Amino acid sequence: MTADLSHEIEVVPAFHDLDPLGIVWHGHYVKYLELARSALMARFDYDYPQMRDSGFAWPIVDMHLKYVRPARYGQRLKVLARITEWENRLRVDYRISDALDGHCLTKAHTIQVAVALADGEMQYLCPAVLGQKLGVTPC
């Protein structure tokens, strides 16, 4: 059986997240993804401070968002983050949905790579600490 590499949070868009049309401005979805990714990594005790302490930065090098339906002020949203790759890079897939009816609003993914803080070199394999924290072993 594989480890559950997912975590879900709830977000409620605030008034300052809206665009002039009264819907959540597209750029704020990135903030929601970041909140879910940080909560996911904290679940495994490998959030940003622990990454730094392990000697690695994990910058995002690629991001893709597919907007399906708009989110609105006060709408309860569920943001699911799931790690789907961890050997050569860290890929997190996301689904933002309406908390009440489950309708999908946005699908996304991010790609992060490990960079050694000591010399700034990108790692072509994820450091062993990631697999240890996630409780997974390489194929």
CA torsion angle 78 62 41 97 (round to 10): 10
Average pLDDT over residues 72-98: 97
Average pLDDT over residues 32-54: 96
What is the domain-level CATH number for residue 72? 3.10.129.10
Count of the separate structural domains present in the chain: 1
The tokens for 94 are 């996301």
For 35-103, the DSSP string reads: HHHHHHHHHTT-SHHHHHHTTEE--EEEEEEEE-S--BTT--EEEEEEEEE-SSSEEEEEEEEETTT--
* pLDDT at position 138: 63
Among the listed ranges 2-6, 10-14, 19-23, 94-98, which one has the minimum average pLDDT value?
Answer: 2-6
In a domain, 109, yes or no: yes
Is the per-residue pLDDT at 66 higher than 70? yes
Q: With pLDDT > 90 as the criterion, what percentage of the chain qualifies?
A: 96
In a domain, 1, yes or no: no
In a domain, 14, yes or no: yes
- Owning domain of residue 32: 6-134
Where does the pLDDT of residue 137 fall: very low under 50, low under 70, confident under 90, or very high at 90 and above?
Answer: confident
Is the per-residue pLDDT at 35 higher than 90? yes
In a domain, 139, yes or no: no
In a domain, 104, yes or no: yes
Average pLDDT over residues 31-56: 96
